[in-house]
Amino acid sequence: MQYETVIGLEVHVQMDTQSKAFCGCSTLFGQPANTQTCPVCLGLPGVLPVLNEKFLQYAIKVALALNCKVSNYLKFDRKHYYYPDLPKNYQISQYDMPLAEHGYLEIETENSTAKKIRVLRAHMEEDAGKLIHTSQSSLVDYNRTGMCLLEIVTEPDISSAHEAYDYLTRLKSILEYLEVSDCDMEKGSLRCDANISLRPVGETKLGVKTELKNMNSFKGVRDALEYEVIRQEKALNAGELIVQETRLWDENKQKTFTMRTKEEAHDYRYFPEPDLPPFTIEDKTIETVRKELPELPAVKKERLVSEYKITEYDANVISADKYIALYFEEAAKEYKSPKTIANWLMGDIMNYIHNNQLESKKLAEILPVKYLIEMLELIDNNTISGKIAKKILPDMFTSGNTATQIITEKNLVQISDTSQIETIVDEVIQEHASVAEDFRNGTDKALMFLVGQVMKKTRGKANPQIVNDILRKKLGTT
- The residue (of 16 and 273) whose beta carbon lies closer to another protein is 273
- The residue (of 90 and 167) whose beta carbon lies closer to another protein is 90
Angle of the 312-320 helix axis to the 161-178 helix axis, nearest 10: 60
Question: Exposed/middle/buried for 252, CB within 10 Å: 0-12, 13-18, 19+?
Answer: exposed
- The residue (of 87 and 297) whose beta carbon lies closer to another protein is 87
Can you tell me the distance from the alpha carbon of 183 to that of 79, in angstroms, rounded to the nearest whole number? Answer: 25
Question: 95 CB contacts (<8 Å, ≥6 apart)?
Answer: 77, 79, 270
Can you tell me the distance from the alpha carbon of 315 to that of 302, in angstroms, rounded to the nearest whole number? Answer: 8
Nearest approach in angstroms of CB 80 to another protein is 6
**Residues 10, 150 contacting (CB under 8 angstroms):** no
- The residue (of 11 and 56) whose beta carbon lies closer to another protein is 56
Phi, psi at 133, each rounded to 5°: -95, 130
- The residue (of 129 and 297) whose beta carbon lies closer to another protein is 129
- The residue (of 91 and 189) whose beta carbon lies closer to another protein is 91
Can you tell me the distance from the alpha carbon of 241 to that of 367, in angstroms, rounded to the nearest whole number? Answer: 56
- The residue (of 19 and 385) whose beta carbon lies closer to another protein is 19
Residue 103's SS3 state is: strand
Nearest approach in angstroms of CB 46 to another protein is 4
- The residue (of 47 and 346) whose beta carbon lies closer to another protein is 47
- The residue (of 46 and 239) whose beta carbon lies closer to another protein is 46
Q: Which residues bind another protein (CB under 8 A)?
A: 39, 42-51, 78, 80, 82, 84, 87-90, 140, 267, 269-271, 274-277
- The residue (of 82 and 441) whose beta carbon lies closer to another protein is 82
Nearest approach in angstroms of CB 193 to another protein is 22
Nearest approach in angstroms of CB 129 to another protein is 11
Nearest approach in angstroms of CB 112 to another protein is 45
Nearest approach in angstroms of CB 91 to another protein is 11
List, edge to edge, every strand of the sheet that includes 271-272.
90-93, 77-80, 271-272
**Residues 300, 320 contacting (CB under 8 angstroms):** no
Can you tell me the distance from the alpha carbon of 237 to that of 230, in angstroms, rounded to the nearest whole number? Answer: 10
C-alpha closest to that of 289 among 103, 70, 75, 122: 70
Q: Which helix (H) or strand (E) holds 404?
A: helix 403-409
Can you tell me the distance from the alpha carbon of 429 to that of 357, in angstroms, rounded to the nearest whole number? Answer: 46
- The residue (of 34 and 285) whose beta carbon lies closer to another protein is 34
Counts for the chain of helices (H) and strands (E), in that order? 17, 16
**Residues 470, 418 contacting (CB under 8 angstroms):** yes
C-alpha closest to that of 316 among 328, 295, 302: 302
Nearest approach in angstroms of CB 151 to another protein is 20
Nearest approach in angstroms of CB 69 to another protein is 25
Nearest approach in angstroms of CB 138 to another protein is 8
Nearest approach in angstroms of CB 135 to another protein is 14
Can you tell me the distance from the alpha carbon of 1 to that of 409, in angstroms, rounded to the nearest whole number? Answer: 67
**Residues 156, 210 contacting (CB under 8 angstroms):** no
Nearest approach in angstroms of CB 89 to another protein is 4
Can you tell me the distance from the alpha carbon of 397 to that of 366, in angstroms, rounded to the nearest whole number? Answer: 6
Amino acid at 189: S
